[in-house]
Chain A
Amino acid sequence: MSKIRVLVGTKKGAFILNADGTRKNWQISDPHFAGWEMYHLKGSAADPNRIYASQSSGWFGQIIQRSDDGGKTWNTPGSSVEELKSEQGFPKGESNKFVYEGEPGKHLWYDGTPHPWEFKRIWHIEPSLTDPDTAYAGAEDAAIFKTTDGGKTWRELPGLRQAKSQLWQPGAGGMAVHTILLDPKNEKRIYVAISAGGCFRTDEGGKNWKPITKGLKSPHELPDPEAEVGHCVHRIALHPSKPDVLFMQKHWDVLRSDNAGELWNEVSGNLPSDFGFPIDVNFNEPETIYVVPITSDSLHYPLEGKLRVYRRQTGGGEWEPLTRGLPQKDCYVNVLRDAMAVDQLDQSGIYFGTTGGQVYCSPDGGDSWSAIAEHLPPVYSVEMQTLP
């Protein structure tokens, strides 16, 4: 029987949840990296024992951790004394080092003045679909880095910041590459999203990038209807069988593109609010998507105190609320952008974590939900591994 491993990043450590394919009985690990902010953990599709984790702290900066045994043990890649000896005998310690290529340049600050790029942390790590030693990292301030040696060293793909980055501007949560999507049918194609930066695509393996924001409307933040950058994209998602079809949860609006982001159309339909953070696609139904509506940009909690996931099937405009097993009164948590994931079992499981420390699972595509972890620190990210 298949097994499920859920990787949960929280404000105060990481947790690994394990269950068999019935998804009924869950074991929760002790905290990994207790006390550290764990923005994201993700396993390699090419080697499920290989997991990358972003560990950070306002005191001690950015650490990259790697597990080669499915999360049982962890190491900072390339940081053993033996691995660090250069020809001159000096330690290199490059696994935690994220340095912008060349002159870092400037982006817009909150007050609209130019502000120099400053590395703060890694929000998201996206392992290659085919090579366990290759992964991409999304940084704040916004940039994308790549490793090809299992995380021992990271190099920026500077072409992204040539896409009108002088006009990017941080949102309230900072300015970070928070989403990285790899096209499973075209290894040269990568999508990224940046809050208050926009959405970008490369078809050259990261060498050159272009904004893909046509059709997005942000009239309050961006009065120019033709603005290519600056849109506050909260999350994008795709289904591996149809990678040209993209779904987006924007600051406001839920949108869809059928041509790899060349043009977006709003599909907010009858959602009670089209503000939110995560969006994801059912593994077995490429047209079925999920969002968690949040009241507004000023009120980051569900409408009416009711935690509701909304599902939209078969490409129609009608959304249905999914409430069975979710709190329907006095609930004022948020669900952050990286805190929703799907498994790959025959009946798709949907998972999400909340800022209240719950992780919910629906083993039936969203029809019913139960909390598989409660009382964790605020959940930053949820990722799935479906294991044989």
Chain B
Amino acid sequence: MIRVVLPFHLRNLARVEGEVELDLPAPVTISALLEAIEKSYPNLRGTIRDHGTLKRRPFIRFFACKEDLSLDPPETQLPDEVVNGTEPFLVVGAMAGG
């Protein structure tokens, strides 16, 4: 089971508390995980990545296992620790605005 931590405002929008858990078949890529998030919580469509281009929104970052995955290609496979649920996948609102 993959664990996902959403930022405060997206947890409120999706009406979830704490971590989100998703079950995905291997291999698990960044884009596959994002699709699974959007499929389970459809009103998050467009909030993490652009509706049309599917590119990550500029002020959203992805982290896992203390690594910044934000600039990795969408087809990048997630670390085993994320896939087996040892470590969460973090969706983070970037610090911005002063």
Contact = CB atoms under 8 A, between A and B. Distances in A.
B43 interface: yes
A96 B52 CA distance: 11
A3 B46 CA distance: 37
A60 B96 contact: no
Interface residues of A, number: 22
Contact of B52 (A81, A91, A99): A99
A99 B50 CA distance: 11
B60 interface: yes
Interface in A217-263: none
B9 A36 contact: yes
A152 to B, nearest CB: 11
Contacts of B38: 91, 93
B45 A60 contact: no
A91 B39 contact: yes
A86 to B, nearest CB: 11
B1 interface: no
Contacts of B93: 59-60
Contacts of A95: 43
Interface string B29-57: 00000000011101111111011100001
B90 to A, nearest CB: 14
Contacts, number: 66
Given A35-B9, A58-B59, A93 B46 contact: yes
A59 B39 contact: no
B94 interface: yes
A58 B94 CA distance: 10
Contacts of B40: 81
B94 A59 contact: yes
A99 B9 CA distance: 24
A49 interface: no
A367 B7 CA distance: 47
A57 B57 CA distance: 11
A374 to B, nearest CB: 25
5 contacts: A59-B59, A60-B10, A61-B47, A63-B43, A81-B42
B51 A96 contact: yes
Given A59-B94, A61-B47, A96-B47, A84 B42 contact: yes
B14 to A, nearest CB: 10
Interface string A85-108: 000001111011101000000000
Given A99-B51, A99-B52, A62 B39 contact: no
Contacts of A76: 13, 43
A79 interface: yes
Given A60-B10, A61-B50, A62-B46, 4 more contacts: A60-B9, A60-B13, A79-B43, A91-B45
Interface of B: 7-10, 13, 38-40, 42-48, 50-52, 57, 59-60, 93-94, 96-97
A246 to B, nearest CB: 35
A61 B46 contact: yes
A380 to B, nearest CB: 17
Contacts of B10: 60
Contacts of A99: 51-52
Interface string A40-60: 000000000000000001111
Contacts of B46: 61-63, 93, 96-97
A91 B44 CA distance: 11
A93 B39 CA distance: 9
A59 B60 contact: yes
A81 B45 CA distance: 12
Contact of A60 (B42, B47, B51, B97): B47
A63 B97 CA distance: 20
Contacts of B47: 60-61, 63, 96
A99 B54 CA distance: 13
Nearest to A90: B39
A176 to B, nearest CB: 19
A130 interface: no
Nearest to B59: A59
Contacts of B43: 63, 76, 79, 93, 95-96
Nearest to B50: A61
